[in-house]
Chain A
Amino acid sequence: MGQNALKSDPWGNVHMAGLIQKVARFGLMLPVLAVVVACTSEAPISEGSSKVYRHVIDGAPRTLDPAQTNNVYARLLIPAVFETLYRYQYLARPYELTPSLALGLPEVSADGLTYEIRIRDDARFADSEFFENGQGRLLTASDVAWSLARLFDPATGSSVSWLLRDRIVGLESGRTYRPDELNVPGLEVIDSTTLRIHLNEPFPALVHTLARPQLSIVPHEVVDGLGPEFGLRPVGSGPFRLVEFNETGAVLVPNERFDRGVVDLAAEGYDPALHEAFGLAAIDGRPYPFLDRLEVQFISEASARWNSFRSRDGADIVMLPPELASSTISSRDPLTLQSEIAAQYHALAEPESGFIYYGMNLDHPQLGHHPDPTQETRNRELRCALGQSLDWERRNQQFYHGLGQRFAGVIPPFLPSWDDSVLSLPSGPELARERWEQAGWHAGNLPRLIYGHQAGVQPGQHFELFRANLIEAGYPSDRIEQRVYPTFADLLRGIHGSEVDVFLLGWTTAYPDAHYNLQLFYGPNASPGSNTARYSNPEFDAGFEQARRTIDDAERQARYRDLNQRLVDDCVIMGSIVRTRIHLWKRHLRMLPDREILGGFFLPFVDIEASAQP
């Protein structure tokens, strides 16, 4: 056939040339069509008059299976799809617990070992092909028990089982937990709406733990039916139903089975003085959720996030990236935005529920623990001196808008056990040098320090500043080395493998109880656990165990303060700083965003003023 075509063609290849011409014509038509499209489009991706809210976050969750969730991005989306027994009030700060699937707070026995929880009898899972007739069924106490137990089933591959590790009687790793025969004495299903939890020892932070999105309630039929893909097509009883989820974003629509009556703003912590300006009064007494469609975009590039926010149909909210602070903030004290920005958008500046600190490898013989008490003391002095050499003000200006809040230890100001009398050591290069010299350290014997960080511009700048501070104090520059890891997971592997001596880490406090932060230094949590410093102090461990089971709130907070003071005195970390996050959102939205302890629980309350919609 090819031969015939060639024979009939005096020029040999005219047919191919014709094909290329057609392709060329089609190709040249595309830009013309595109211009026509651009000129005729008034609202390119608008959904008409429906209420569409476009949220943006700076990373993507890898899965939406609550049991496998270990980042802030998933914690935004999971409360939209699933429900927990408890949650935090929408507007109350400090954060206040409120029942979600539970009916009221639990009845706790006098010894603090038994929690009886009544569960709503009207909560239903969203529809799914894996339910009978495809219709969402009622959520029961058995679902709650199984959802907690599956965290410990190896088949689940949970990354969050540690939240309940050693807490509930009979709930342990390495077992298969079938929904019809759990056999966990600590999870006693009394009837379809009552669950009794028996603890190994008192754990006052249990209710906070049960409010974590990771402990959301999931339907076993769908988990079994979808297998490893449950995290991609999750089904829960939350206010929204997931219709699309990939590496660039997620789309959710209201869950028709969700009915929690109307918003009671007073019960959500509404304060007119704080919240009236955001138009929140308008949602009071109305059934929720209010949105017809919720789109969450995952954008890791700061410039792309900002462009999306500034474009007509892009994101409705943005967390101000530090590199744009100079062009949007006119004054830091008091915090004032430039007039153009302030006129266009609502703004909220709030401290993060976490902190940044420099950790150290305390297995290092010249930096950490040592069997010889004299050397142990010298090492502690060196750690303190290193901490004193750091210029936190400069870090604050350079990396955190100049709005970060410095504090000592691991109990930041937003926690009830914060103690303003615990002070950071005075800093400065002279003070640092004097301190290590007094302990017998000098240029000849100061140890080699390997600073590990993830690849990237900002982590690299952090290292440069760290090195500059130490050199300024007199630390030999050839003894400060840099080791770069391609990803955060690689850095963690390096830290746990004792490949690095110093590292900058952030820790997000999941609930407003210092237990969550102090466990970072609890001996049994040592590497590969969260105690990345490998801090080992039997007195601290005993104090921590005692504090975490102390039922009396005031007494427990006092114990936490003592433990924090011990960490500060021992110079276990160099730090710390709480960043201030600045959220900007478009004025037609009625909402108060949160990416901290409340996280995605604010999404059901987001409303849009239709008449003001651009």
Chain B
Amino acid sequence: MGRYLLRRALGAIPLLVGVTLLSFIITQGLGTDPVWELAGRNPTSAEINELQAQLGRDRSWLMQYVDYLSGLPRLELGHSLMTGESVRSLLIRSVPVTLALMVPGLVIGIVLAMVLGYLAARWKGRGLDRLISSISTVGMSLSLVIVVMLCQMVFSVWLAWFPARGWSTETLYQWLLHVTVPTIIVIMINLGHNVRFFRGLWVEGLNLPAVQSARAFGLPEVSIFRRRLLPWAIGPIMTRLVFAIPILLFSGSLVIESHFGIPGVGRVFYNAILSGDQPVVLAVVALASVLVVVALTIVDASVRWFDPRVRLS
């Protein structure tokens, strides 16, 4: 296992270099020039040149990239060009917020989708299947922005159950207060796709000889699910769960964070892209790459661990 993890870690280096290089070229060549964001409304040409020099943009992009890479192993990510905040502290304060915001919705959503998908697969072609499939189709058609606005209006304005805005994890109570509506939104938005995925998975699983035999022997439904289906489906479930985290973290959270005023990394990343804040963009991209590699490793390792067929092969 140790050798396997080491191989994975070494394999991640070219990926990391590749994505940061690509991001560097894109932000440098096509992104917003931060100089115009920083210069104010009445700069002189000399001040513009001075700013270019201060940001190191008067050097070749290759030199700038080499500088960036050399700091990466020491986690020297620089400071945000816009706010002056250390990029490392910016990530340390914003990534946990997004995780605390998105993970409940992700976990509950997956569990709910597994249950609904199972019910639809178990009674395939019946009324319940059609109802769940219809809900799934509606879920897939919903626009995130509309769902966000609707939920905010219903739960925070009309019912006034939860705050319309803000974030706190000081106590469990405060966290639940602030995370509930975003969690409902995450579930609603992802449920359609997830239910569809799990329905297909369970349909295949229910046709397995082991499952058919268990049913023929009269084993209870819960027992069949727990002992036959779930172990068989660990691989796809883990893949779905683990891979969703980096995606949710860096893209899915943006709209929710913006509308609910939550200081997570999605918002940070978006602002950085818009303002041409290259150190922040590159740090987030690098972090996302690392997370993808970690996710890939976790999925592979867990499948190897739990599935004797993979281990033996």
Contact = CB atoms under 8 A, between A and B. Distances in A.
A44 B177 contact: yes
Given A14-B227, A159-B40, A490 B32 contact: yes
B125 to A, nearest CB: 27
A314 B163 contact: yes
Interface in B93-133: 93, 104, 107-108, 111, 114
Interface in A218-250: 227-232, 246-249
A13 B83 contact: no
A6 B306 CA distance: 8
A307 B107 contact: no
B258 A228 contact: no
Nearest to A155: B54
Contact of B39 (A159, A313, A490): A159
B262 interface: yes
Interface stretch (B15-23, B62-70, B152-160, B191-199): B152-160
A525 B43 CA distance: 8
Interface in B41-93: 41-48, 50-51, 54, 79, 82-86, 93
Contacts of A285: none
A494 to B, nearest CB: 9
Output the residue of A12, A30, A37, A525 with the most chain B CB within 10 A: A37
Nearest to A229: B84
B163 A311 contact: yes
Interface residues of A, number: 78
Contacts of A27: 104, 107-108, 111
B86 A304 contact: no
Interface string B259-291: 111110001100100111000000000000000
Contact of B275 (A41, A62, A304, A307): A62
Contacts of A6: 308
Contact of A307 (B40, B54, B157, B263): B157
A304 B44 contact: no
A228 B84 contact: yes
A493 B40 CA distance: 12
A249 B107 contact: no
Interface size range on B against A: 35 or more
B42 A525 contact: yes
A487 interface: yes
Interface stretch (A257-265, A295-303, A361-369, A589-597): A295-303
Interface stretch (A17-25, A193-201, A440-448, A459-467): A17-25
A277 interface: no
Interface in B168-218: 168, 172-173, 176-177, 179-180, 183
B111 A308 contact: no
A312 B39 contact: no
Interface stretch (B3-11, B229-237, B243-251): B229-237
Nearest to A37: B176
Nearest to A162: B42
B13 interface: no
Output the residue of A2, A16, A161, A315 with the most chain B CB within 10 A: A16
A38 B177 CA distance: 7
B276 A13 contact: no
Output the residue of A12, A34, A65 with the most chain B CB within 10 A: A34
B164 interface: yes
Nearest to A531: B42
Given A34-B183, A63-B84, A157-B38, A248 B32 contact: no
A154 interface: yes
Contacts of B163: 44-45, 311, 313-314
Contacts of B166: 45, 249, 297
B300 interface: no
Nearest to A249: B261
A489 interface: yes
B32 A16 contact: no
B271 A247 contact: yes
Contacts of B24: none
A68 B51 CA distance: 13
B32 A311 contact: no
Given A27-B107, A27-B108, A528-B44, A11 B32 contact: no
Contacts of A26: 107
A314 B306 contact: no
A33 B171 CA distance: 13
A247 B167 CA distance: 12
A427 interface: no
Given A11-B231, A17-B230, A20-B237, A307 B84 contact: no
Interface in A249-306: 249, 297-301, 303-304
Contact of B230 (A13, A301, A303): A13
Nearest to B277: A62
Contacts of B84: 63, 65, 227-232
A12 B164 contact: no
Interface string A35-77: 0011101001100000000000000101101001010000000
B274 A173 contact: no
Contacts of B32: 486-487, 489-490
A304 B271 CA distance: 18
A310 interface: yes
A20 B258 contact: no
Output the residue of A23, A173, A227, A308 with the most chain B CB within 10 A: A308
Contacts of B114: 24
B114 to A, nearest CB: 8
A227 B85 CA distance: 10
A28 B231 contact: no
B41 A70 contact: yes
Nearest to A227: B84
Contacts of A519: 42
Given A232-B83, A530-B42, A314 B156 contact: yes
Given A247-B268, A313-B164, 14 more contacts: A14-B227, A17-B230, A27-B111, A70-B41, A154-B54, A159-B38, A173-B46, A174-B50, A228-B84, A304-B259, A308-B261, A313-B163, A528-B45, A529-B42
24 contacts: A2-B305, A11-B228, A12-B231, A16-B231, A24-B111, A26-B107, A27-B107, A34-B176, A34-B179, A38-B162, A44-B177, A65-B84, A159-B39, A159-B40, A165-B44, A229-B79, A246-B93, A297-B165, A299-B165, A304-B149, A307-B164, A486-B32, A487-B275, A489-B32
Interface of A: 2, 6, 11-14, 16-17, 20-21, 23-24, 26-28, 30-31, 33-34, 37-39, 41, 44-45, 60, 62-63, 65, 68, 70, 154, 157-162, 165, 173-174, 227-232, 246-249, 297-301, 303-304, 307-308, 310-315, 486-487, 489-490, 492-493, 496, 519, 525, 528-530
The 10 closest A-B pairs by CB, nearest first: A159-B40, A228-B84, A13-B231, A38-B161, A311-B164, A34-B180, A530-B42, A248-B261, A489-B36, A489-B37
